[in-house]
Amino acid sequence: MACVGKEPYLCQNQSEVLSGRIKHLIAMKHNWWKFLSILLIAYTIVGGFLFDAPRLAILNETIRNLYFHVPMWFGMILLLTVSIVFAVRYLSTSRIYYDRLSSQFARVGVLFGVLGIVTGMIWAKFTWGDYWSNDPKQNAAAVGLLIYMAYFVLRNSLIDQQQRARISAIYNIFAFAVLIPLLFILPRLTDSLHPGNGGNPGFNAYDLDSKLRMVFYPAVIGWTLLGAWLAQLNARTQQVEEDIEELENQ
């Protein structure tokens, strides 16, 4: 053995160092996706502003917003889907842990939706001539986010923890069921300026070339991973706050 003939405290120090290294490796193994999200977002920001992009009529340089606006909506849908999964898990197990994760994934998902609307308004100003033109896609997105904001109002209006978790989980499921038609079905039934709706081709149909894909796909993955990371941090913070409040009430 390496510690034979050595002082006991030296063996103890070596053991502590080895244990620390093992813990560090385990932490790296579980947190690799967090480092990946940082790298992908950094790549998106650099590539989004510096890499070459196709020059298209009307869009011109604003097409670079594709790397920020669209991934926000992709991220929102994915995060809200995870929120629904945890809501169902709570309803089947009654574990507050799942309610906490469900609410925080929904919170970050709505944040991404707000950022999606803001970046879309900026894009619309340069391409449609106005920040808000009452386009069916814009209106549907706004209604969908208002429905989810009511979800948080509902949660804050209920005091009992289990009752709040149960009612908000059911509301969350129905809100998501309403959001999908609002975003992906109803706008297609009427005229819309938004690509992919009202007969307008989507980006992948006419101008999402290899230059755009090289940044677009990493952007979707990076922003979504960042959203999951934020949701996890918020859930842990909420748990600590609840534990502190419980200790203070004892």
pLDDT digits (tens, 9 = 90+) for 17-26: 455 555 544 5
Residue 49: per-residue pLDDT: 87
Closest CA to 90 of 179, 170, 157, 174: 170
Q: Which of 78-87, 129-138, 164-173 has the lowest mean pLDDT?
A: 129-138
Residue 108: per-residue pLDDT: 96
Say if residue 168's pLDDT is above 80: yes
Residue 66: per-residue pLDDT: 87
Say if residue 11's pLDDT is above 80: no
**Quick check: 141 and 183 in contact, CB under 8 A?**
yes
Out of 45-54, 55-64, 200-209, 219-228, the most confident range is 219-228
Write phi, then psi, for 76 (nearest 5 degrees): -60, -50
| CA-to-CA separations, 67 to 11, 27, 70, 137, in angstroms, rounded | 53, 30, 7, 19
Chain centre distance of CA 222: 10
Element (H, E) at 241: helix 210-249
What residue segments make up the domains of the chain, in order of their start? 31-242
Taking the CA atoms of residue 167, residue 173, residue 179 and residue 181 in that order, the dihedral angle to the nearest 10 degrees is -130
Of residues 95 and 198, the one with the higher pLDDT is: 95
pTM for the full predicted model = 0.83
Could you give the 3-state DSSP secondary structure of residue 4? coil
Residue 114: per-residue pLDDT: 95
Of residues 233 and 209, the one with the higher pLDDT is: 233
Average pLDDT over all residues of the chain: 83
DSSP state of 211: H
Q: Which of 19-33, 114-128, 232-246 has the lowest mean pLDDT?
A: 19-33
**Quick check: 40 and 218 in contact, CB under 8 A?**
yes
Confidence grade of residue 183 (pLDDT, cut at 50, 70, 90): confident
Q: How far apart are CA 125 and CA 120, in angstroms?
A: 9
Confidence grade of residue 12 (pLDDT, cut at 50, 70, 90): low
Average pLDDT of 177-204? 73
Of residues 245 and 82, the one with the higher pLDDT is: 82
Give the CA count within 13 Å in the CB-facing half-sphere of 31. 11
Fold of 31-242: Four Helix Bundle (Hemerythrin (Met), subunit A) (1.20.120)
Say if residue 13's pLDDT is above 60: no
Say if residue 206's pLDDT is above 50: no
